[in-house]
Structure 1
Amino acid sequence: MAMIGHVLKRVLMVLVGYLVAVLVGLISVVVIYAILSSLPNAPGYFGLMELTPVALLVVPPLGMFVYFLTIILTGMQTLVFALIAEFFSLRSFWLHMLFGAAAAAAGFMLIWPDAAGDPERWADMGIIVGAGLVAGLIYWLIAGRDAGFRRPFINRSA
């Protein structure tokens, strides 16, 4: 019975970690665009991305739409990565960051399938991958440090 409780706890931690990581990843996208828009010769739409948080606060359904769209676009690959990490008890923060970056890049490719052939989208891809790295780190902080469906063995005879 304790094993079932442990697995349910892990599933809950994975879900909470993912939902919080998506939110932090979206915030980091806006922060990265805001920082990059201050650089000389930055594309004009980088500055437009600074207004995104204002639009999302003024129109909350738009913010929820972006959040749920991101969950839909990154959910399947993140589930695969989370299951791999849980089954093999992978606890490395670098690995979770790489999983986050790969999931973000895959989600971006679902929106713009021809992004790899369009040099103007490479900067966007880099920003999204950077946000995925941040999201992977947040996921690791919440759920990845203790990854593993198997309970750790506790020697009670000592």
Structure 2
Amino acid sequence: MMLAGYLVAVLVGLIAVAAIYGILSSLPNAPAYFDLMGVSPIAVLLVPPLGMFVYFLTIILTWMQTLVFALIAEFFSLRSFLLHMVFGAIAAAAGFALIWPDAPESPERWADTGIIAAAGSVAGLIYWLIAGRDAGFRRPLFERA
């Protein structure tokens, strides 16, 4: 279930990035930067080859940190949805830092990092819904009815 949850969470995270940029570009007095960013994620979703490239690139950039977080959650039986959302935000921001290493030095990239982290938290919630609620090698002694 971990792999299925991860693959679906990455897809939902990419949709969340497009939705967040789309919403921010439609706000009144939004910077011109969001006009371009409001269109480009939607283009990635609508052009299948480009969308698959971004999907696989996202998987390549986030698989290691996500695997570490998933194994931590499994080993310690961490089933909190908030913790999975934090893990997703950290994994997404770390993946963004891998592709854009000078992002912390650039003030324009702080908004992008926040948006990517917010989409990562949505992805973490989706992962929790699919695989994280039953995380852990140890099972409870009594099953709920």
Q: Provide the residue aligned with 2:16 in structure 1.
A: 28
Q: Provide the residue aligned with 2:122 in structure 1.
A: 134
Identity %: 80
| Residue correspondences, number | 142
Moved more, 33-42 or 86-95: 33-42
- CA drift of 1:60 comes to 1.4
Distance 2:86 2:49 in 1: 31
- Unaligned stretches of 5+ in structure 2? none
- Unaligned stretches of 5+ in structure 1? 1-12
- Maintained 8 Å contact 2:23/2:38: no
Q: Provide the residue aligned with 1:62 in structure 2.
A: 50
Q: Supply the AA of the counterpart residue of 1:101.
A: A
Partner SS for 1:50:
helix
Q: Provide the residue aligned with 1:50 in structure 2.
A: 38
Q: Provide the residue aligned with 2:2 in structure 1.
A: 14
- Maintained 8 Å contact 2:93/2:116: yes
Q: TM-score, normalised by structure 2?
A: 0.91
Partner SS for 1:42:
coil
Which structure is larger by alpha-carbon Rg, 1 or 2? 1
Deviation by residue 1:20-42 (Cα, 9 ceiling, x = unmatched): 00000000000000111122332
Deviation by residue 1:68-120 (Cα, 9 ceiling, x = unmatched): 00000110000000000001100000000000000000001001111111100
Deviation by residue 1:34-76 (Cα, 9 ceiling, x = unmatched): 111122332323222333324542x311110000000001100
CA RMSD, 1 decimal: 1.6
Aligned structure 1 segments of 4 or more residues deviating by more than 4 angstroms? none
Partner SS for 2:7:
helix
- CA drift of 1:154 comes to 5.4
